[in-house]
Structure 1
Amino acid sequence: MSTEELVYTVEDGIATLLLNRPDQRNAFTLTMIDAWERALRTAGADPEVKVVVLTGAGEGFCAGGDMDTVGDTGASGPLEQKNTLHLRIHKVARALEDLDKPVIAAINGVAVGAGLDMALMCDIRFAARSARMSEGYIRLGLVPGDGGAYFLPRLVGQSKALELLLGGEFVDAEEALRIGMVNRVVDDADLLGETYAFAAKIAARPSLPVGMIKRAVRSSDRLDMRTSLDLISSHMAVVMSTPEAQQAIDAVRSAVVRDKGRSAAATPPEGTEARRT
């Protein structure tokens, strides 16, 4: 799956997608997009992969589309521009939508425009303290072409999303955390360590309920309450029949019985203290 522009590796149940154009702040080309989608599809089909981490090489996460390739608005007509976005670049969003395995973005530097959108469409976002983020499209007279108008309001609310999309200003990591754009902010040197530690925790969980939890949460904003409860009751019935769940439930029951036994042994029979006096 690896190419010069995107490096794909798997270790200890964690697949890493490393955007690898550090001299261009990892601005993506169409070749990188094709490799990106293939890597996500491969991770989804690989039973050894439990969780995916996305990050960038060097000092930037992703500066959006490379203006010399995908950003050349004068190179083609409106239909060609639409197809480049919808049939090529949007493949990543569709692949992520199909992926039941959690995806964590480790935002190690600047994330701008479509580069920020690529982080927003992940499930969880950890940011380095020096990271800076901006939708930025409006400064070029453009609309948020890679899902910013869809993903951002779901994280920060419509009003705040409009402020960021229409203003186009950068926000730092602490502000991104405050408004709910990212989950955690950590020191730059600790970003990958914190990200992989959390990824390892997920990788150690049973895969079936992890995927079902992601699916239930992702679908919750499209379902009414009754349908969502019906879906989760089906998920619960399935996972409770698995050996992993049965073993875990039995372990909890055994612990409860042991605790009750210890409590009973430590409590003197009723009236004992009175007889002693």
Structure 2
Amino acid sequence: MTKFLNVERLGNVAVVRMNSPETHNALTTESQINEIVDLCAEVKADKSIRAMVLTGTGKAFCAGGNIKDMQKRQGIFAGSPYDLRDVYRNGIQKIPLCLYELDIPVIAAVNGHAIGAGLDLACMCDIRIASNNAKFAESFVKLGIVPGDGGAWLLPRIVGIPKASLMAFTGETIGAEQALSWGLVEQVCAPDELDAEALGLAQRIAENPGHALRLCKRLLREGQHMRLDSLLELSAAYQSLAHHTQDHQEAVDSFVEKRKPNFLDK
């Protein structure tokens, strides 16, 4: 069986491509979900990886759920309401819990349509850049359903409640330039430049010490639901750890000595 994910290692960067162009990279099966969950576990265990790029093969980033499976109530959409509840909880909802919480920075390179769960998948990443032909939609309401994979939590934190409400209540599609103006993506480029732009950004991130990237990402995540005083306490604890790493000393030494640092993730 063909794997859903193609993973390429480029130095300290992992480039991950969803590879089901015939279905527009729809998230349709339990095995696809498990591939993403397993990948996150592998990346989390490999301390030499400092950044990850997630993109799609073909004309779409990810088209979300398979509508034909929904129509036939088969695959991950089969069963009673109680069965479906557990399918969501034990299936696709594992993706935001592992991808959003992944220790390293993740860049979504949105090469085409990011629809429904595909948009939410992009929102699970830390930074989104898009080709100028990309399209975005929180389209669940068009199918008479709701964001079942965390989109109602993720999207408002990126574009704000009013714009997230507009997208969720209408289910309408917006283009790359509108996504840029709304802050949904940070950059728009030509399709043939997207891979290079995403990889270049990931490599600039990965030039920094791995431990500092991981601690910084955790602070940003925790800061979304902590009080300031609690976050300051956590920041002090993380900072004390960072000050006692070899890479911190190397960063300071190389700055003073005006040379390129050599970080060892220690």
TM-score where L is the length of structure 1: 0.87
Unaligned 5+ runs, structure 2: 259-266
Query: In structure 2, what is the equivalent of residue 32 of structure 1?
Result: 32
**After superposition, what is the alpha-carbon deviation per residue over 1:141-187, rounded to whole angstroms, capped at 9, x for unaligned?**
11111111010000111111111100111111111111111111111
1:85 paired residue among 66, 84, 88: 88
- Superposition deviation, residue 204 in structure 1: 1.5
**After superposition, what is the alpha-carbon deviation per residue over 1:93-142, rounded to whole angstroms, capped at 9, x for unaligned?**
11124411111111000010001100101111111111000011111111
Q: Which amino acid aligns with 1:105?
A: A
Unaligned 5+ runs, structure 1: 256-277
CA shift in 2, pair 1:34/1:69, >3 Å: farther
Give the Cα–Cα distance (whole angstroms) in 1 for the partners of residues 69 and 49 of structure 2: 32
- Superposition deviation, residue 39 in structure 1: 0.9
Query: In structure 2, what is the equivalent of residue 17 of structure 1?
Result: 16
2:145 paired residue among 142, 145, 163: 142
Alpha-carbon contact 2:48-2:210 (below 8 Å) kept: no
Query: In structure 1, what is the equivalent of residue 160 of structure 2?
Result: 157
Query: In structure 1, what is the equivalent of residue 215 of structure 2?
Result: 212
Query: In structure 2, what is the equivalent of residue 41 of structure 1?
Result: 41
Q: Which amino acid aligns with 1:18?
A: R
Query: In structure 2, what is the equivalent of residue 179 of structure 1?
Result: 182
Give the Cα–Cα distance (whole angstroms) in 1 for the partners of residues 10 and 134 of structure 2: 26
Alpha-carbon contact 1:65-1:71 (below 8 Å) kept: no
Alpha-carbon contact 2:100-2:125 (below 8 Å) kept: no
Q: How many residues align?
A: 254
Structure of greater relative contact order (alpha carbons < 8 Å, 6+ residues apart): 2
Give the Cα–Cα distance (whole angstroms) in 2 for the partners of residues 97 and 177 of structure 1: 21
Alpha-carbon contact 1:102-1:214 (below 8 Å) kept: yes
Which is further off, 69-78 or 104-113?
69-78
CA shift in 2, pair 1:6/1:72, >3 Å: farther
1:101 paired residue among 101, 104, 126: 104
TM-align CA RMSD: 1.7
Alpha-carbon contact 2:24-2:58 (below 8 Å) kept: yes
Give the Cα–Cα distance (whole angstroms) in 1 for the partners of residues 4 and 16 of structure 2: 10
Give the Cα–Cα distance (whole angstroms) in 1 for the partners of residues 71 and 92 of structure 2: 11
- Superposition deviation, residue 80 in structure 1: 1.2
Query: In structure 1, what is the equivalent of residue 56 of structure 2?
Result: 56
Give the Cα–Cα distance (whole angstroms) in 1 for the partners of residues 253 and 54 of structure 2: 37
CA shift in 2, pair 1:180/1:226, >3 Å: same
**1:237 is aligned to 2:240:** yes
SS at match of 1:58: coil
Give the Cα–Cα distance (whole angstroms) in 2 for the partners of residues 142 and 116 of structure 1: 15
SS at match of 1:154: helix
Alpha-carbon contact 1:3-1:35 (below 8 Å) kept: no
Mapping of 1:108-119 within 5 angstroms?
108-119=111-122
**1:202 is aligned to 2:205:** yes
Which is further off, 16-25 or 55-64?
16-25
Give the Cα–Cα distance (whole angstroms) in 1 for the partners of residues 36 and 107 of structure 2: 15
- Superposition deviation, residue 231 in structure 1: 1.0
SS at match of 2:26: coil
Q: Which amino acid aligns with 1:44?
A: K
Alpha-carbon contact 1:107-1:125 (below 8 Å) kept: yes
SS at match of 2:197: helix
Query: In structure 2, what is the equivalent of residue 224 of structure 1?
Result: 227
Q: Which amino acid aligns with 2:136?
A: M
Whose radius of gyration is greater, 1 or 2? 1
CA shift in 2, pair 1:52/1:254, >3 Å: closer
Query: In structure 1, what is the equivalent of residue 128 of structure 2?
Result: 125
